[in-house]
Structure 1
Amino acid sequence: MKFHVLVLSLAVSLPLVAQESNDFAFLAARDAFRSGDRNKLERAGSQLGNHELAAYVENYRLRMWMDQGDAVGMRAFLERNDKTYVAEKLRADWIRWLGKRANWNDVDSEYPRLIAPEPDVTCYSQQARLARNDRSVFDEVEKLWLTQIEPPEPCRPVLDALVSSQRMNSDDVWARARRQLEANRPVWTKTTLNYLPDSQLPDSKALDAAIANPMGYLVRQPGNWYASRGGRELAIFAIQRIATNDPHVAADELDKLKSRLQDGEKQWAWGQIGLQAAKKHMPEAVAWYENAGKIALSDDAYQWKVRAALRAREWGIVHNTILAMPAALAAQPEWIYWLGRAQKAGGRTTDANALFEKIAGQASFYGNLADEELGRAITPPPKAKAPTAEEQKAARDNPAIRRAMAFFRLDMRTEAVREWNWSLRGMEDRELLAAADLARRNQIWDRAINTADRTKNEHDYTLRFLAPYGEQVRPAAQNQSLDDAWVYGLMRQESRFITSAKSSVGASGLMQLMPATAKWVAKKIGLRDFSQSQVHDAQTNVLLGTSYMRLVMENLDNHPVLASAAYNAGPGRAKKWRADQALEGAIYAESIPFSETRDYVKKVMSNAVYYSILFNGKPDSLKARLGIVGPRSNDTPKNADLP
């Protein structure tokens, strides 16, 4: 029943022919491919006719026969479907097949035709280049030495060759191993250390002990542990592992060992203690980071040094740390903004404003804040003209969009989104707006929003910030005394208004409610005969979600930044992330330890500004919404059992 209703709704709003019988043939072909039934695949394919997804069935056939080595058929298909998503993925898989068989000439031939190669496929291409003695590969691989923490299997031979070329020495090996340990990848740390000469390899049992039982290792390490590089490195590895649980204990242990360590070794250890302390919002983090001196840090460690300094209001450290960052990292909007704030705190207003100008006007958290630092109101740009009939027709007739719409018709959302996103490559603003409008008219809200978000010069913020389900959301927000702009800002980030959305952890519906939370709220508000299946009903989902938002607000000083963090990560964490003193809302948001929640809160709050402007027709202030987050409190909150 659901399939037929979906087909009908799309057929009414979209001038595409609903090929129901051919749809079933496609589904049969897909099932045959999944089960490895070649005969069934051939029968289903013969019934497909001129279906939008016929290329996918041919792709299934070629994949099933890949072991037969039909290079002619493969190349013919890739030529006919060049630059399409299905050809891109098939070509990548063929390169993987060729690479595993060391067919390097064919890899060399096919790789340049990929549009967006994945890392493992790139490594097959690099292997092919090494096979013809192209040493320039090493220049590329060397740049990834400290950042490719978990290399795909095809990259291993390239890394092996890099080390064998003697471009990497023991210092480089230890540096990579340290980065991997910092990223909590101990298995890869051990793998990297195998690149050391045999005479420098640490004892495997000692390495395991330093990582798995660091305190025990330090207690039992031999008296002359400091006599070798390996012994000293294992000692600071143990310090790093201790710091992940208790930076204070790690600092105490490092104080005992530091006289036996070389400067670079103890500085790295202090940096690791600072990093872990910063993530735990410990006030000692700044001082521990300072003990690390000017040693080069990982991107993560640089960013957390700035966050620790922000919470401590150490603007000089903020300034100097951002200047020490790698150029690509320092060029990110958040660090441009905070460098500007540091300049402003130091009285260098002209320099600060020049930095704010770099990101002002961007429809983002830091773009909004930069505008306000420059004294400008946050306002959407003028609305672009509606797509013309010709532009609408071009969007409908776009072959990639037609394939995406066919997948949507078949309720194959994952495949539909991939095909849709691929269709947008290289589109100009007018094409993007027409595609976004097409998605809106078919109630594919997430694609409408994401597509409209891509425009560079012509914009339609009514598409970027769609507000569907108004009959359910606006009254529910009003009943709970909630700001409807904030509710929509949160929903936009949670589900992009897809009622069937379900997260990897089990959250469901428009407001992405966890089963236990939905059950708790239903009981709290007296919703009788509640069942989990109701969470996918828009009315019930919004009722439960807005009720929970109200309870969270009451639990957290009615502060939307805290409540947004709580909605994503839980009220207990949102309270824990406060400081002993009041914090700017922007500093609280930037120093949230969970990267997902940090990004989420920023986007929810910026979304709310734009929804407010669109709903009320007047400017709004992100700074005012962020406000000041009060200090920690030991008071028992209302609804202390809030999940």
Structure 2
Amino acid sequence: MRHSASRAVLFFLCSLSLFISTFASASLEQQRNKFIQAEKLYKANKISQYKKLKTELKDYPLLPYLDYQEINGRLTSSNSVSVSKFIEQYPDLPISDRLNRRWLNHLIKTKKWAAYRKHYAKHPVAHIHYECQNQTALLNGTTKQKKAALYQAKTLWMVGNSQPKACDPLFKAWMATGRPTSKEAIGRFWLSIEQGNIKLAQYLTKKIKNKKLKAQAELFWSIYNNPEKVESTLLKKLPKVHQSKTAQLSYKRWYRQKAITATNSWIKHRDSLVPKEEQLNVSEYMGIRLNRNYHSQAIKLSQRLDPDYQSAELTETRIRNALAKQDWLAVKQGVKHLPAEEAKDPKWQYWAIIADRHLDPQNSHKEEIKALAEDRSFYGFVAAELNNTPFRMNAKSDAISDLQLEELSQLPAAARAGELFKLGRLTEANREWRTALGQMNEEEIQLAGYLARSWGWHLQAIINAAKTERWDHIDLRFPHPHAKLFEMHAEKNNLDLSFPVAIARQESAFLFNAQSRVGARGLMQLMPRTAKQTAKKHKVPYKKISELYNPETNITLGSAYLGDMLKRFDNNPAYAAAAYNAGPHRVKKWLKQRGHLPLDVWIETIPFKETRKYVQNVLAFRVIYDRLEGRQPSLLSEKQVQLLALNQSKRTAL
């Protein structure tokens, strides 16, 4: 009886929690609609209606955003008291910082120097732009304040990088006093050289009037602009403290002009020009580029550039170049010299096995391949294909209750982030989410990914899993929104059902309005030109770029384009994924250069790091999504498995 009563109480509490959660969601949706309406009323200047509606939103998480809209809308007629009041009332809100910056910029623009100084002293902004504005405000103050500003100007000017335009009025006033001196100018010149800011150094050369110091700068340019002179005695005429950096910059420039000549000269002269502890910078620069370009002399020169394998990054490029040449001994040596932690990467474990198998065909390495097949990764899945064993998911999940998520969602910043996400205001939502995470304890941060997932904010759920290193939490890392749309268009374009969704997972992490720095848009990150061409080819209705933010349009066009790439490249998903990411023209070029290589070698030797990782991820994600959907997964077709390095001859095939 007691057990029955306990179960009844538990059932009641769960039901009550679900009812409260459902009621709260409905209430929030009503408030959300009222919030949108209130914003519109304010913009339409219907203030009395706006104020009445605002009183109904006193418990709504985004109420401060209405206050912000009011003060921001009348910023030109506001005063520091009202701005300070908002900042102090909402110190943790990202919009408080935005308002503070806008107000400071307004005060400078309207030349309200005293007001700026007073407000900045109370609400400083940790950015050089606003510090320079503060010094400009001081410059327009008392004689004592002006003197202090001119003194500070030198400190702000004497850096190795260009300062923002906000510093120009201060620097102009400082220069009107006869500054910089030649000594100051040459000092900043060398600071810019140390940071590799060549354009700034060119500008500063004009500021050096002293003949002796001018000659010093001109000697640098003589060597840098004619880098073959770096071998000569000219370098020794520069101050000793600047000789090493001059040699490094000059050799890098020389390499860009004549790679092999510069590399041989560097190997010959580096010990006499640059301290031992600084040499790796240039050796890496040259070696990595030689190997990435698969230069015929790269392996030999790399051995001379870095004989002790000090650079892990250079060692990796040496291994890839050795793979491209199928020099299995060099591959084995390279993996052997990787740092211990990097050598544990499934990628390098795989290539160590393949190299050993080619060097010693009598040793099957079946146990090593079997062990690697336990890993949930591209190379773990390749090993599983070779070993003819099931793909391992090794999945974990946390038991999270609705009540836990409800409690977490009540944190003010989390509540604001959730509402902004649901309103589609992702810039503000991301800022509030970062604020929320900064206020959470470790346990709450672990829950945060599940909260984001419950909202459909899959990108933040995926990021949360990565930042908390929960790599085995497949439920967080691999959501499947728009499943029916993806499957319908996969079938329509003769694609494996998980191929388009794997592309979307890699491209945007299912952020429907994602936009890349180069202009790709939406779930499957289509470039507008590609979308237009694909729409025309497949007779898909498409009029404007904004339609790419519509999931159905994006999935329709993205799947069609992916299908085109698959047909173009012999139904090979690796080539198709590479073409989707880097463009078919590049894949055509890479196939012409290295298409004769085994498929796994070709993938690992893709010149672009981003595309290489992209292809490996997409192929692995296809397997994971097939498993999650209960389908029989395969990484590669039987034909493609035969193209792997281990199956290229009867001697090495398992």
> Is structure 2 residue 63 aligned with structure 1 residue 54?
yes
3-state SS of the aligned residue for 1:251?
Answer: helix
Judge conservation of contact 1:613–1:620 (CA < 8 Å) in 2: no
Inter-partner Cα distance in structure 2 for 1:175 and 1:296: 31
Which residue, out of 606, 612, 623, partners 1:609? 623
CA deviations 1:114-167 (Å, max 9, x no partner) are 9xx999999xxxxxxxxxxxxxxxxxxxxxxxxx9979879x9xxxxxxxxxxx
CA distance in 2, matches of 1:485, 1:363: 17
> Taking structure 1 as reference, are residues 320 and 470 closer, same or farther at Cα in structure 2, changes over 3 Å only?
closer
Q: 1:422 to 1:319 in 2, by over 3 A?
A: same
1:241 corresponds to 2:253:
yes
Match of 1:318 in 2: 334
Taking the aligned partners of 2:407 and 2:639, their CA distance within structure 1 comes to 41
The structure 2 residue matched to 1:562, chosen from 575, 594, 612, is 575
More divergent stretch after superposition (499-508 vs 369-378): 369-378
Q: TM-score, normalised by structure 1?
A: 0.63
Residue 353 of structure 1 deviates from its aligned partner by: 10
Q: Which residue of 2 aligns with 1:404?
A: 417
Contact 2:569 2:576 in 1 (8 A): yes
SS of 1:18's partner is: helix
- Of the three residues 440, 445, 461, the one matched with 2:474 is 461
Is the Cα contact below 8 Å between 2:490 and 2:499 reproduced in 1?
no
Native 8 Å contact 1:553 1:560 kept in 2: yes
User: Structure 2 vs 1, CA of residues 69 and 13 (structure 1 numbering), >3 Å: closer, same or farther?
Assistant: closer
Structure 1 regions of 5+ residues with no counterpart? Answer: 1-9, 33-38, 123-147, 157-172, 324-329, 632-643
Q: Which of 425, 436, 439 does residue 455 from structure 2 map onto?
A: 439
Encode CA deviations 1:486-538: one digit per residue, 9 max, x unaligned.
Answer: 2211011223334433333232333222222122223333x176534554444
Change (3 A) 1:472 1:530: same
CA contact (8 A) 1:477 1:546 kept: yes
Does the CA-based 8 Å contact 1:334-1:366 persist in structure 2?
no
Amino acid at match of 1:567: Y
**Structure 2 CA distance for aligned equivalents of residues 176 and 499 of structure 1:** 42
**Aligned in 2, Cα 1:409/1:542: closer, same or farther, shift over 3 Å?**
closer
- State the match for 1:4 in structure 2: none
- Residue 403 (structure 1) shift: 0.7
**Which of 555, 558, 572 lines up with 1:542 in the alignment?**
555
Aligned-residue offset at 1:412: 1.5
Q: Which amino acid aligns with 1:431?
A: L
Q: 2:34, 2:349 → 1: CA distance?
A: 61
The AA in structure 1 aligned to 2:331 is: W
Q: After superposition, where does 1:273-284 map in structure 2 within 5 Å?
A: 273-284=286-297
Give the CA RMSD over aligned residues.
6.2
Equivalent runs, 1:103-122 vs 2, <5 Å = none
Q: Deviations over 1:209-246 (max 9, x none)?
A: 666xx5xx2578997535446688656634422433x6
- 1:531 maps to 543
Deviation, 1:88, is 7.8
Is the Cα contact below 8 Å between 1:583 and 1:628 reproduced in 2? no
The counterpart of 1:497, out of the listed 501, 510, 521, is 510
Gap change, CA 1:438 and 1:612, over 3 Å in 2: same
SS at match of 2:517: coil
Bigger mean CA offset, 552-561 vs 572-581 = 572-581
Alignment partner of 1:381 out of 381, 384, 395: 395
Contact 1:270 1:291 (C-alpha < 8 Å) held by counterparts? no
Query: Hey, what's the Cα distance between the residues in 2 that align with 1:77 and 1:556?
Result: 59
Residue 616 of structure 1: how far off its partner (Å): 2.9
Name the SS for the 1:274 alignment partner.
Answer: helix
Matched-pair contact (CA < 8 Å) for 1:582–1:628: no
Q: Partner of 2:135 in structure 1?
A: none
- Name the residue aligned to 2:614: 600
Residue 507 of structure 2 is aligned to residue 507 of structure 1: no
- Equivalent pairs counted in the alignment come to 545
State the AA in 2 paired with 1:613: R
Write the deviation string for residues 582-612 of structure 1: whole angstroms up to 9, x where unpaired: 5565654554444443443343233222102
Aligned residue in 1 for 2:175: none
1:572 Cα deviation from its structure 2 partner: 1.8
1:382-414 Cα shifts (integer Å, max 9, x gaps): 5544x4342343244332232123323443222
Tell me whether 1:472 sits opposite 2:481 in the alignment: no
Change (3 A) 1:546 1:262: same
1:258 shift after superposition = 6.6
2:496 maps to which of 483, 505, 510: 483
* Secondary structure, counterpart of 1:415 in structure 2: helix
Q: Deviations over 1:7-56 (max 9, x none)?
A: xxx99778444244443555788x89xxxxxx999998997442422345
**Which structure's CA Rg is the greater one?**
2
Decide whether aligned partners of structure 1 residues 429 and 219 sit closer, same or farther in structure 2, where only a CA change above 3 A counts: closer
Q: 1:457 to 1:538 in 2, by over 3 A?
A: closer
Amino acid at match of 1:319: V
Q: Deviations over 1:80-102 (max 9, x none)?
A: 656665578889999999xx99x
* Match status 1:272 vs 2:281: no
The residue number in structure 2 matching 1:165 is none
- The question of whether the paired residues in 2 share the 8 Å contact of 1:243 and 1:276 is answered with no
- Check conservation: 1:177, 1:189, Cα contact below 8 A: yes
- Summarize the Cα distance change of 1:546–1:83 in structure 2 as closer, same or farther, 3 Å threshold: same
**CA, structure 1 residues 497+319, in 2 after alignment: closer, same or farther (shift >3 Å)?**
closer
The yes-or-no answer on 1:413 pairing with 2:450 is no
Q: Distance in 1 between matches of 2:162 and 2:636?
A: 40
Shift of 1:562: 2.3
| Amino-acid identity (%) | 22
In structure 1, what is the equivalent of residue 260 of structure 2? 251
Amino acid at match of 1:53: L
CA deviations on 1:526-552 (whole Å, 9 max, x unpaired) are x17653455444444333222221221
Alpha-carbon contact 2:574-2:603 (below 8 Å) kept: yes
Instruction: Decide which of 218, 225, 228 is 2:234's aligned counterpart.
Output: 225
Following the alignment from structure 1 to structure 2, what is the Cα–Cα distance between the partners of residues 18 and 397?
A: 15
Task: Write the distance in 1 (CA, Å) between the matches of 2:51 and 2:315.
Answer: 55
1:431-477 C-alpha deviation (Å, 9 max, x unpaired): 3364144213xxx4444554566666797634532222233221221
Q: CA, structure 1 residues 78+232, in 2 after alignment: closer, same or farther (shift >3 Å)?
A: closer
Quote how far apart the aligned CAs of 1:614 are: 0.9
Residue 566 of structure 2 aligns with which residue? 553
How many Å apart are 1:192 and its aligned residue? Answer: 12
Q: Which runs of 5+ in 2 are unaligned?
A: 1-22, 107-112, 132-158, 168-188, 646-654
For 1:391, the equivalent position in structure 2 comes to 404
Superposition pairs of residues 92-131 of structure 1, within 5 angstroms: none
Cross-structure match for 1:128: none
- Aligned counterpart for 1:573 among listed residues 586, 590, 608: 586
Q: Decide whether aligned partners of structure 1 residues 617 and 495 sit closer, same or farther in structure 2, where only a CA change above 3 A counts.
A: same
Distance 1:222 1:262, change over 3 A: closer
- Amino acid in structure 2 at the alignment position of 1:278: N
**462-471 or 225-234, which deviates more:** 225-234
State the structure with bigger RCO (CA 8 A, min sep 6), 1 or 2.
1
Q: Match for 1:52: what amino acid? A: P
Q: TM-score, normalised by structure 2?
A: 0.62
Deviation string for 1:604-633 (max 9, x for gaps)?
Answer: 2332221021123556558999968799xx
Take 1:290 and 1:340, find their aligned partners in 2: how far apart are those partners? 22
Q: Match for 2:454: what amino acid?
A: L
Equivalence for 1:5 = none
Q: For residues 408 and 204 of structure 1, do their structure 2 counterparts lie closer, same or farther at Cα, with a shift above 3 Å needed?
A: same
Equivalent residues of 1:306, 1:322 under 8 A apart? no
